[in-house]
Amino acid sequence: MRKSAWWQRVSLWCAAAAVAGASWAGSAAASSPVTVTLWSWSPLSTTMQKMVAAFEKAHPGIVIKPQIQPSSTYWTSLKAAAASGTLPDIIGLSAGVNTQLYRPFLQPLNSFAARSWGSNWRSRFPLAVDHQMLLGNPKGNHNVYMLPEEAEVLNVWYNRQIFKKLHLAIPRTLPQLVKVSRALDKAGYIAFFQGAEAANFDQWMFMELADQTDQTGMLEAQIGKPTWTQPGMVRAMAAWKQLFTDGVIQQGALGQFQYPTGANLFAAGRVGMMLLGSWWLQEAELPPPQPAEVKNLQAFGTFPFPAITPGGHPSPYIGGIDVGFGLTKAAKAHEAAAEAVLKSIVSGRMEQQALNTLNDLPAFAGFKPTIPLTRHLNALYTRYLKILPHTISHEIGNPVIGQALVNAMQGVASGKLTPSQGMASVNAVAIQQEKSGS
């Protein structure tokens, strides 16, 4: 009898626990937030955490699971995820080839953009950014598959303190650049650091030069036309070679990367000049320890690349999309939540958080950092914002042609090829790609 009562009591407790558990699970399911997964290589992980916190605070029903990886592993992971059908809801993309590669997995965003920002939504983005959104689309396809979050502008950064110490003026012409470089070299500094192993910085340097000598040819080449052997393009390659022979670019540049080597040396005050971009502003907001020179970027300033032809003008500013985001087809399962996140990334709280770390420039018009900036930093940022609408696209649509250009630049710099031979080799690849329809 006693045994039976004991069993009855246990059974009752179990039943009660089961009912309580079931009802808790039920209520949890009813109120569980929607999870949106997001992968990217940019912005920095710490910045993304702030962006996510800001969004989740305003949207209690949505949880963002971000995964930020270094770009070297990000693209590999993304490729594997696409091949195995496990892409997240939102993916970080660069313009052109990477967006095109994942196009079959992405949703067209035109109607979402029109709903969010009105029918003339494209006018909210700078011209170069707008151009790059569609870069590489098949003829007749006017869909947009990624929306830019941040934009960038490239130019030469220089160490103002070193220049002041050595009584150097900002160079406006190539002979002046050579003279300044020699003075810097004589004083024990690396005059102009170029990590010529880094493909993207080589391409950008070439655009800085070619946009002076044949801007039309360069823009056509970027969309795949074989204009690489035009005289102005060959002249740009000759100027690139001259930067090495005249001692502007440092010895051993072909064996060095812009990041981390060059950027660290520049931040440490050992480099006079370097091709960088608006993203360098974020150094001012990076957590300590920072070299004293980097604090508020007081020691640094910018100027356009000097004129390489007699009587010519310095390089026009080049730039475009730094990072954009696309909605994958997987996001259709919780479309509203994913769209809310994407809208916030482009033109909402998430974008504001990114800008407040000075991550880069806003791609969407009307935004700027709301944190207090020093006078110098504010002047730099404001200047970039003014330049941004007038920048020329810095993206080569076809990676095979882009790689051929880098190979040719390295071949010319090392003396293996003449400028004409280098450009002929790029043009041959461009013709072959054009024929194959790539």
Partner 1 sequence: MPLNRRRGSWGRFSGLVYVVPAVAVFGLFTAFPLVENVLWSFYHVTLTGKDFIGTAHYRQLGSDPVFQTALVNSLLWIVLTIAAQMTLGYGLALLVEDHLVFGRGFFRTLFFVPMVITPSIISIVFTTLYAPSYGAVYGLWEALLPNLPFPGLLSDPNLVTFTLIGVNVWQWTGFFFLLYVAGLSQIPVEVREAARVDGAGFVPLSTRVYLPMLRPTHLTLLLLGTVQALQQFPLVYLITGGGPDNASQILGTDIFQEGFILNHLGYASTIATVLLILALVLVVLQLRLFGGRFTVSQRTLE
User: What are the tokens at 249?
Assistant: 């670019």
Instruction: Give the x-and-dash track for 282-301 against partner 1 (CB under 8 A).
Output: --------------------
Cα 90 to chain centroid distance, Å, stands at 17
Q: Least separation, in Å, of the C-beta of 217 and partner 1?
A: 23
User: What are the tokens at 184?
Assistant: 């810097």
- Using left for φ > 0, alpha for ψ between -120 and 50, and beta otherwise, residue 108 falls in beta
Q: Least separation, in Å, of the C-beta of 199 and partner 1?
A: 8
8-state DSSP, 259: I
Within residues 179-198, the interface with partner 1 by CB under 8 A covers 190, 196-197
Cα 17 to chain centroid distance, Å, stands at 54
Q: Least separation, in Å, of the C-beta of 136 and partner 1?
A: 12
The DSSP result for 274-318, as a single string, is EEEEGGGGGGGGSPSP--TTTGGGTTEEEEPPPB-STT--PPPPE
Task: Give yes or no for residue 253 binding partner 1 (CB under 8 A).
Answer: yes
User: What are the tokens at 402?
Assistant: 């882009």
Report which of 338, 317, 327 is spatially closest to residue 390, judged by C-alpha positions: 317
Cα 209 to chain centroid distance, Å, stands at 21
Task: Give yes or no for residue 251 binding partner 1 (CB under 8 A).
Answer: yes
Q: Least separation, in Å, of the C-beta of 374 and partner 1?
A: 30
Closest CB to partner 1 among 37 and 98?
98
Within residues 386-425, the interface with partner 1 by CB under 8 A covers 399-400, 403, 406-408, 410-411, 413-414, 416
Closest CB to partner 1 among 6 and 259?
259
**How many residues in the shown chain lie near partner 1 by CB under 8 A?**
36
User: What are the tokens at 23?
Assistant: 């009802």
Q: Least separation, in Å, of the C-beta of 343 and partner 1?
A: 27
Task: Give yes or no for residue 250 binding partner 1 (CB under 8 A).
Answer: yes
* Separation between Cα atoms, residue 128 and residue 391, nearest integer Å: 6
Beta bridge partners of 62: 34
Q: Least separation, in Å, of the C-beta of 216 and partner 1?
A: 27
Task: Give yes or no for residue 265 binding partner 1 (CB under 8 A).
Answer: yes
**Binding stretches for partner 1 (CB under 8 A):** 75-76, 79, 82-83, 97, 101-102, 104-105, 190, 196-197, 199, 250-257, 261, 265, 270, 399-400, 403, 406-408, 410-411, 413-414, 416
